[in-house]
Amino acid sequence: MSAPLDLALCVEAAARSRPTDLFLRTPEGRECSYGTLFEQSARFAAALEQLGVAPGDRIAVQVEKSVEAVLLYVACLTRGVVFVPINTANTPNEVEYFLRDSKPRLVVLDPQGRAIEPLARALGIAHVETLDAHGDGSMRERARSAPSAAQPIARFAADALASIIYTSGTTGRSKGAMLTRANLASNAAVLADTWRFSRSDVVQHVLPLFHIHGLFVAINTVLASGSSLLLMPKFDAASTLERMRDATVFMGVPTHYTRLLQQTALDRETTAGMRLFVSGSAPLLAETHEKFRRRTGHVILERYGMSETLINTSNPYAGERLAGSVGLPLTGTSVRVAAMGAGDIGALEVKGPNVFAGYWMDEAKTRSEFTPDGWFKTGDLGRVDANGYVHIVGRAKDLVISGGYNVYPKEVEAELDALDGVLESAVFGVPHPDFGEGVTAAVVPRSGANLSESEILSAVQSRLARYKLPKRVLLIEELPRNTMGKVQKNELRKRYAALYETG
């Protein structure tokens, strides 16, 4: 499959050659063909034009998931407008930073978020419009009254900015990753090819639209392949399993899979029509991988990506899908390990057409995150095995240096997670008066398990070098996570920062 020149042109081509083919449907029975997608997104594009939003302008969007939210995103692609999605869980204080930084011409909010409107006005933002979870609001009304004739889509440069995605900000203020039209199109085309998408595929979409997984991986791959979406309002294990018969591909995060496994109805019969299950955004436990295979006969395909690069690697569609590995570099993308001393573990660096153009309004940060020869420093630690499979060990910032020794958290977590009664664990470092950093483990017991700190330490002491052993094991009810299921170790470090203080 050759890479599309532009995703907007894919929409136009599909609308003209097969206008009645389905692009999207909802569980409630609403349907949107490719012809309707082209016509309705053109109305939203016309509404943007009426509001004075020109190609290259930014629009900040903090809305719940809806068909109209998808139409607005596609309208930005066709109009050359820079889409700035904002997590619906972000507070007004956080939103203020994003608005100050991105300087959008238009803000689209959920009607319940109108409290941000005075702030937007104070920041000199020209327009504030609304869109709710049902797709209703002032933005939809503007689109309804806009001209209906869909004009031919303008051509934009491949390096034109398409979106600004704000990073999680776990090491300070969030930075806006600038993704170009070529970044989006090339990655979508490669994923569609790698995962063997066809026009007959239906992606069951349970992810939010403010993150690259739900917005770019799922929707853009569908646009690039001419397939369709089953747009679910959110993830609910029971309703997701019930509607799985209407889909062929499921994209989720590890938490989705653990919750699906809690459904007694999950078996080979209920997943018989599916051809692919994809997991990303956080590490998938090998135990979850194996349990899902036994229950359904499907082997989950794990991949690796980030805001700045979209997707970098994927386990193969036809080859071996290794539990605990994020697979092989995608076609056109290169991954290398920068040595950090003895051993084959090092900092992962990436190069390819998927790598972003830099951080918005921050040339110094951009320079610091690229090597002199042009490779992006992912901030992840990992290794590449003899067969080329990439294995992520953890974030570089999560590396624990205890008594002068490097401790890779994932190695310790693998031993803890293998213990009977342990649901999951997170290993991190906090200040220690003797060792510099103390290796510390937070462990979530399984329901009904009776675990103690001493029992856990006794169970792993023969399997880990002494310097890798946790100084403390903290039994907690759940690990702190962000909206995409990633464990927030920075929160654990803050919570237990004084754990080893004397006096």
Give the count of domains, the chain.
3
C-beta separation of 197 from 23 below 8 A: no
Task: Verify that 321 and 386 share a domain, yes or no.
Answer: yes
Q: What is the pLDDT of residue 3?
A: 43
Residue 194 lies in a domain: no
Average pLDDT over residues 402-415: 84
What average pLDDT does range 433-444 have in this prediction?
90
pLDDT score at 171: 46
Establish if 357 belongs to a structural domain.
no
Cα–Cα distance for residue pair 181/438, rounded to 1 Å:
45
Asked if the structure places residue 274 within a domain, the reply is yes
User: Please, what is the end-to-end C-alpha distance for the chain in angstroms?
Assistant: 65
- Average the pLDDT over 432-449 and give the result: 90
Report whether pLDDT(169) > 60. Answer: no
Clarify whether residues 171 and 281 are in a common domain: no
Same domain for 112 and 51 = yes
- For the entire predicted model, the pTM comes to 0.86
Q: Residue 170: its pLDDT value, please?
A: 45
- Select from 137, 159, 181 the last residue of a domain: 181
H or E stretch at 184: helix 181-194
Using CA atoms, how far apart are residues 306 and 395, in angstroms rounded to an integer?
12
Same domain, 231 and 173: no
pLDDT at 314 over 80: yes
303 part of a folded domain: yes
Give the integer Cα–Cα distance in Å for 123 and 254. Answer: 39
Asked if 389 and 429 sit in the same domain, the reply is no
The pLDDT assigned to 1 comes to: 41
Do 139 and 230 share a domain, yes or no? Answer: no
pLDDT at 439: 95
Domain assignment of residue 198, yes or no: no
CATH number of the domain to which 310 belongs: 3.40.50.12780
Strands 249-252 and 202-205: parallel
User: Are 287 and 419 in a shared domain?
Assistant: no
293, HSE (Cβ side, Cα atoms, 13 Å): 12
Mean pLDDT of 345-374: 96
Tell me whether residue 449 is exposed, middle or buried, using C-beta atoms within 10 angstroms of its C-beta: 0 to 12, 13 to 18, 19 or more: middle
Query: Does 243 lie in the same domain as 125?
Result: no
Task: Based on the fold, state whether residues 220 and 329 are members of the same structural domain.
Answer: yes
Answer whether residue 199 is part of any domain. Answer: no
One domain for residues 404 and 391: no
Closest Cα to residue 465, out of 439, 441, 445, 444?
439
Name the domain boundary from 395, 430, 457: 395
Residue 373's SS3 state is: coil
Give dist(CA 241, CA 274) in Å, integer: 11
Residue whose C-alpha is closest to residue 40's, from 67, 17, 13, 9: 67
Q: Please provide the average confidence, as pLDDT, over all residues in the chain.
A: 92
Sequence-separated (6 or more) residues with CB below 8 Å from residue 198: 225, 227
**pLDDT over 80 (residue 152):** no
The reported pLDDT for the residue numbered 223 is 97
164 Cβ neighbours under 8 A, 6+ residues apart: 58, 82, 83, 84, 102, 176, 177, 178, 179, 360
**pLDDT tens-digit map of 54-80:** 999 999 999 999 999 999 999 999 999
Judge whether residue 188 has pLDDT over 90.
yes
Report how far residue 70's alpha carbon sits from residue 233's, in angstroms, rounded to the nearest whole number. Answer: 12
Q: Which of 181, 199, 229 lies at the terminal end of a domain, its last residue? A: 181
Asked, for residue 426, whether it belongs to a domain, the answer is yes
- Residues 467, 485 within the same domain: yes
Q: Answer whether residue 70 is part of any domain.
A: yes
Same structural domain, 249 and 123? no
Which residues, in sequence order, are bridge partners of residue 335? 350
Asked whether 416 and 444 are in contact (CB, 8 A), the reply is no
Alpha-carbon distance of 148 to 155, in angstroms, equals: 20
Domain that holds residue 303: 214-351+371-395
Specify the CATH number for the domain of residue 452. 3.30.300.30
